[in-house]
Chains A and B, each alone.
Chain A
């Protein structure tokens, strides 16, 4: 194994890890505000990728511009979904039933995409699709760098939003202790809806980033949901930094294992890590109080 190949895998792993981190942050947000495991997250990811592809196909513009449509759209969809569907479920069985409800939504999205666009694999062709940078013998595709940049900027924006704004404070208060937040005059229902919208907006950004350099098809979301679920459990359910760290580590591990094992077997690293975590440290590695009980 040459050193440049190793370096290349390392960089690709970091770039992929960035995307995982953004998406896992979205999943963590849902879990934080509502204790909901959102299976449909990756289905929305693929939906956003399809919208980006469709946008480029119809208008000929750069897929990145579709973000101006998909991000607000997904934010609104997330808000509506939380307010109209998930908040109707009984609190006692919320965890289980929300899984089923979001699973149902994922099926509808997958089936709808398959029906509208057929199961054919799609790919966006761009002027810079083939371009790549060379760095000490490692070749890195420009689209992957753009995807990573998009993920990193969004993650940073999310971080600043949560830490520096009044809304972020209210959201974090809602996540930490709902009743106490209510007593302080926070409209937790609305905030929870916005939290959901934010989570879904990460799927919009992630989907566009994905569409830049991946071949997409309707059932692709199953390949994403497993790793993402594993990441949030390993990071400790409810912890955004934990999810980001776990995403980076697993992304790099996956990329490095691809060299000796091939792509398919390298995927299993997520599941092996998931089982090991649950066996030895069920609350995850970076989880706080929230993770203890779920």
Chain B
């Protein structure tokens, strides 16, 4: 089975060419960016893409919507920073170790929140962010409290800011690609089929013998791991951590909005959403500064997406375009004899 795309099936060769062109454009971005500011916006968007793809392991495959993925990215960031400053570990090793630790911590969290259906999952995901924010702000001895934490740079001082942006851009793109490949593999595996069965109807999936709990837990942990990797990488790039922004439900909701807007059922949906929403967020911040209006805009956009395009913007656009096309019918353009011949040919080919 091809992964469901509402367009019908584009030939594989065209898809491949499109993917290569797209990747080429992405990789050429640092060279094309006119100034370091645009480049830094690109890094932010790339980090959002990595986070959104990581989120989509749970959100897209199982349909469980987590508003609290900032918990894992924040933990990844703090873990990376603390391993570097307190234990003197190499920055990149710290990032991976921190992500592994977060993955391990996600096991009990997943057990608690996935045992029951939807509602409790969302509640726990929100509660987790709130509790971590409290801890990060209060436990000043370790986390630096509200002042935040400085993260040492992984590259030497001879590497200038624009150069740093460029390197981190490629790192985020690489992380996103790894996550995308894994998502694609899971999507086509038995695990993925089971997960999608859970998404469509958990009771039926369970009745058919899908080990629903174990499957959900596996992708939950994978998702937490990749989210923590992206969080750790962000910490290394940004250089400082502020609990308010690290453990923020708002950040978590950005990821949800990106994935939903792009389409949770498709491979590249979250990336598309990250580019649109990430750009919009940066544009809004740049134009209107830090007023509270960005909350209103975000809220309205999220409500619009939830109400009118819960499957994402691309399926929505195609369905809008379909209105202008001739109405879909089940009338075949071939007659019965031709059809019989086609089938015969197919049978022959199989032998």
- List chain A positions with a Cβ less than 8 A from chain B: 31, 35, 37, 39, 85, 88-90, 93, 95-97, 99-101, 103-108, 110-115, 119, 218, 222, 225-226, 229-230, 233, 237, 262, 264-265, 267-268, 270-271, 274-275, 278-279, 282-283, 293-294
Query: What B residues does A264 contact at CB under 8 A?
Result: 134, 137-138
Contacts A96-B65, A111-B293 given; does A279 touch B111 at CB 8 Å = yes
Contacts A37-B122, A108-B295, A271-B130 given; does A293 touch B253 at CB 8 Å = no
Contacts A107-B295, A111-B292 given; does A294 touch B118 at CB 8 Å = yes
B253 lies within 8 A of A226 (CB): no
Complex Cα distance, B293 from A218, in Å, reads 13
- Taken residue by residue from 28 to 66, chain B's Cβ proximity to chain A (1 for < 8 Å, 0 otherwise) reads as 000000000000000000000000000000000001110
Chain A CB within 10 A, most for which of B119, B250, B302: B119
Query: What B residues does A278 contact at CB under 8 A?
Result: 112-113, 115-116, 120, 124
At the interface, yes or no: B239 with Cβ under 8 Å from chain A? no
B117 lies within 8 A of A293 (CB): yes
Query: What A residues does B294 contact at CB under 8 A?
Result: 111
At the interface, yes or no: B310 with Cβ under 8 Å from chain A? yes
Name the residue of chain A whose CB is nearest to the CB of B307: A88
Complex Cα distance, B124 from A145, in Å, reads 32
A226 lies within 8 A of B127 (CB): yes
Closest beta carbon of chain B to A175's beta carbon, Å: 15
Count the B residues whose beta carbon is within 8 Å of the partner chain — how many?
46
Name the residue of chain A whose CB is nearest to the CB of B202: A293
- Report whether over half of chain A's contact residues are helix, strand or loop; otherwise say mixed: helix
- List chain B positions with a Cβ less than 8 A from chain A: 63-65, 67, 108, 111-113, 115-120, 122-124, 126-128, 130-131, 134-135, 137-138, 249-250, 253, 256, 260, 291-300, 302-303, 306-307, 310
A95 lies within 8 A of B118 (CB): yes
Contacts A106-B299, A110-B295 given; does A222 touch B120 at CB 8 Å = no
B296 lies within 8 A of A111 (CB): yes
Query: What A residues does B67 contact at CB under 8 A?
Result: 99-100, 103
| Pairs A–B under 8 Å by Cβ, sample size 5 | A96-B122, A108-B300, A111-B292, A271-B127, A278-B115
Closest beta carbon of chain A to B106's beta carbon, Å: 13
A111 lies within 8 A of B299 (CB): yes
Query: What B residues does A110 contact at CB under 8 A?
Result: 292, 295
A226 lies within 8 A of B116 (CB): no
- Report whether over half of chain B's contact residues are helix, strand or loop; otherwise say mixed: helix
Query: What B residues does A294 contact at CB under 8 A?
Result: 116-120
Complex Cα distance, B66 from A100, in Å, reads 10
B130 lies within 8 A of A222 (CB): yes
Query: What B residues does A97 contact at CB under 8 A?
Result: 306, 310
Query: Which one of B260, B303, B310 lies within 8 Å of A105 (CB-CB)?
Result: B303
A115 lies within 8 A of B292 (CB): yes
Chain B CB within 10 A, most for which of A100, A270, A294: A100
Closest beta carbon of chain A to B249's beta carbon, Å: 7
B116 lies within 8 A of A115 (CB): no
Closest beta carbon of chain B to A136's beta carbon, Å: 32
Name the residue of chain A whose CB is nearest to the CB of B252: A103
Query: Which one of A39, A115, A229, A237 lies within 8 Å of B293 (CB-CB)?
Result: A115
B65 lies within 8 A of A225 (CB): no
A100 lies within 8 A of B119 (CB): no
Contacts between chains A and B (CB distance < 8 A), count: 142
Query: Which one of B113, B127, B131, B292 lies within 8 Å of A218 (CB-CB)?
Result: B292
Closest beta carbon of chain A to B261's beta carbon, Å: 12
A103 lies within 8 A of B302 (CB): yes
Query: Which one of B117, B122, B300 lies within 8 Å of A104 (CB-CB)?
Result: B300
Contacts A107-B299, A115-B293, A294-B117 given; does A229 touch B123 at CB 8 Å = yes
A104 lies within 8 A of B310 (CB): no
Contacts A110-B292, A111-B294, A225-B126 given; does A279 touch B112 at CB 8 Å = yes
Complex Cα distance, B134 from A95, in Å, reads 27
Complex Cα distance, B302 from A103, in Å, reads 9
Contacts A104-B306, A279-B111 given; does A99 touch B292 at CB 8 Å = no
Contacts A35-B119, A96-B65 given; does A229 touch B131 at CB 8 Å = no
Closest beta carbon of chain B to A278's beta carbon, Å: 4
Complex Cα distance, B199 from A95, in Å, reads 13
Complex Cα distance, B112 from A293, in Å, reads 15
Closest beta carbon of chain A to B109's beta carbon, Å: 8
Closest beta carbon of chain B to A86's beta carbon, Å: 10
Given contacts A101-B307, A233-B120, A279-B111, 8 further A-B contacts (CB under 8 A): A101-B302, A107-B253, A108-B296, A230-B127, A262-B138, A275-B124, A278-B124, A283-B116
Query: What B residues does A218 contact at CB under 8 A?
Result: 292
Complex Cα distance, B126 from A37, in Å, reads 12
Query: Which one of B122, B134, B298 lies within 8 Å of A267 (CB-CB)?
Result: B134
A229 lies within 8 A of B117 (CB): no
A112 lies within 8 A of B123 (CB): no
Name the residue of chain B whose CB is nearest to the CB of A98: B306
Closest beta carbon of chain B to A245's beta carbon, Å: 18
Closest beta carbon of chain A to B58's beta carbon, Å: 11
Contacts A103-B67, A107-B299 given; does A222 touch B249 at CB 8 Å = yes
Query: Which one of B112, B115, B126, B292 lies within 8 Å of A39 (CB-CB)?
Result: B126
Query: What B residues does A237 contact at CB under 8 A?
Result: 119-120
Complex Cα distance, B104 from A211, in Å, reads 43
Query: What A residues does B127 contact at CB under 8 A?
Result: 226, 229-230, 270-271, 274
Complex Cα distance, B296 from A105, in Å, reads 9
Contacts A100-B256, A108-B295 given; does A274 touch B302 at CB 8 Å = no
Name the residue of chain B whose CB is nearest to the CB of A223: B130
Complex Cα distance, B135 from A267, in Å, reads 10
Name the residue of chain A whose CB is nearest to the CB of B310: A97
Complex Cα distance, B123 from A31, in Å, reads 13
